[in-house]
Amino acid sequence: MSKKAPKGEYIETDTGNKVSRRSQIIGTANIILGGKTVIQAEVIIRGDLLRTYPSSSGDGGKGGHPVAVAIGRYCFFARACDLRPPGKMYKGTFSHYPLKIADHVFIGPSSIIEAALVGSHVNIGANCIIGKFVIIKDFVRVLNGTVVPPNMVIPSFSVVAGIPGRVVGEVSEGEVDGFDLRDIYRSIGN
């Protein structure tokens, strides 16, 4: 609990994350927040869905702790979105795999993310479904209501829309500044 504001909407952590009191974060021990990330109300983050298949490179994250969800800096998770590590069968056993999100990632309200990797400066609109093991590279815009099919790899600077999601255009160079989420972070008061 924060000392100065006992009943604000957000709890601010030491690294500047603003986490709503009404978010539903499960398995907090397995989630890494890079700092300055905003998590709004009713967001579900499934940190409990850990990797059970032993990894060869010993990638257990910092200090040997298993990591289910890794999130970079200046990310913004709007109301009621859901982050969930994807799972699949591999060599006869089922395992979940970590969900990695880089910096300056915006995820719109009610979107469900089961991707393997979301690159930096990615903007995902409202009511999107990002399928299992999708890889989204940097500077991608996913428009509202898109259903990205499982295992899709979205190249950098793409605009993706539709059901199923397809690349419908490119992000122009002038637009790139719009992906910076520092101002949004600052605008979130307690």
Whole-angstrom distance, CA of residue 69 vs CA of residue 7: 27
- Binding another protein (rule: CB under 8 A), the pick from 2, 15, 52, 55 is 52
Answer for which of 8, 87, 109, 155 binds another protein (CB under 8 A) is: 87
- 154 forms part of the interface with another protein (CB under 8 A): no
Q: Does 90 bind another protein (CB under 8 A)?
A: no
* Of the residues 56, 57, 93, 187, which one makes contact with another protein according to CB under 8 A: 93
Residue 71 or residue 128: which is nearer to another protein going by CB?
128
CA–CA dist 124, 139 (Å, integer): 11
Give me the amino acid identity at 131: G
Q: Which is nearer to another protein, 71 or 83 (CB)?
A: 83
- The DSSP secondary structure of 40-74, one letter per residue, reads -TT-EEETT----SPPTT----GGG---SEEEEES
CB of 179 to another protein, least distance (A): 26
Shortest distance in whole angstroms from residue 123 CB to another protein: 20
Q: Which is nearer to another protein, 71 or 148 (CB)?
A: 148
Q: Does 126 bind another protein (CB under 8 A)?
A: no
**Phi and psi dihedrals of 107, rounded to 5?**
-125, 120
Q: How many CB atoms lie under 10 A from the CB of residue 68?
A: 25
Which is nearer to another protein, 72 or 165 (by Cβ)? 165
State yes or no: residue 118 binds another protein (CB under 8 A).
Answer: no
What tokens appear for 80 in the block?
Answer: 């009621």
Residue 105 burial (CB count, 10 A): 27
Distance CA 139, CA 60 (A): 28
Residues that bind another protein (CB under 8 A): 24, 26, 44, 46, 48-50, 52, 82, 84, 87, 89, 93-96, 112, 114, 129, 131, 147, 163-164
